[in-house]
């Protein structure tokens, strides 16, 4: 059984420590770390660890909103990381399947969202279902479905 007494990580970018056995990384880009571990007899072992950074979701949809006019969460809308994202269609349905909101071919950056009304009349609080398709700037399409609580 090897017992290591020292560790060296390179590069030491974004590491919580470069001389410990299990550092945390706060990497901002993909990279490969090389670990050199030295045992009690001054023998070394090397290993590589590839870190892949997940940019996370490119779109966020809240699960509730409050169209009460206070300026906070008054509209249900997708939040996107890139202003060039386009909403191809966005539909909202009530619990019986009737469509209460729709929009087609709209830039996500300028889309105000659904205000919780149908034909200008406020709807009762409840759960609504959405169906959304977007085109991201890289040309990829993605469909999002789910529900939202109107409070």
Mean pLDDT by 10 residues, the chain (151 residues): 87 92 86 95 94 81 95 92 90 97 94 96 97 94 96 96
Pick the CATH number of 59-150 from 3.30.450, 2.60.40, 3.10.20, 1.10.10: 2.60.40
In 10 A of CB 55, how many CB atoms? 6
How many secondary structure helices (H) and strands (E) does the chain include?
Answer: 0, 12
Output phi, psi for 12, to 5 deg.
Answer: -95, 20
| Confidence (pTM) | 0.66
pLDDT of residue 83: 77
pLDDT of residue 1: 53
Q: Where are the domains of the chain?
A: 4-51, 59-150
């Amino acid at each position: 059984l090897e017992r290591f007494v020292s560790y060296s990580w390179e590069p030491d970018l974004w590491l919580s420590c470069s001389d410990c056995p299990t550092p945390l990384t706060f990497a901002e880009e993909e990279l490969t770390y090389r670990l050199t571990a030295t045992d009690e007899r001054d023998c070394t072992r090397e290993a590589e660890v590839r870190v892949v950074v997940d940019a996370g979701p490119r779109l966020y949809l809240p699960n509730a909103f409050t169209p009460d006019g206070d300026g906070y969460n008054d509209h249900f809308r997708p939040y996107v990381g890139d202003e060039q994202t386009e909403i191809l269609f966005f539909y909202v349905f009530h619990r019986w399947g009737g469509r209460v909101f729709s929009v087609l071919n709209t830039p996500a950056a300028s889309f105000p969202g659904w205000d919780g009304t149908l034909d200008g009349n406020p709807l009762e609080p409840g759960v609504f279902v959405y169906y959304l398709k977007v085109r991201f700037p890289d040309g990829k399409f993605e469909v999002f479905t789910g529900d939202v609580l109107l409070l």
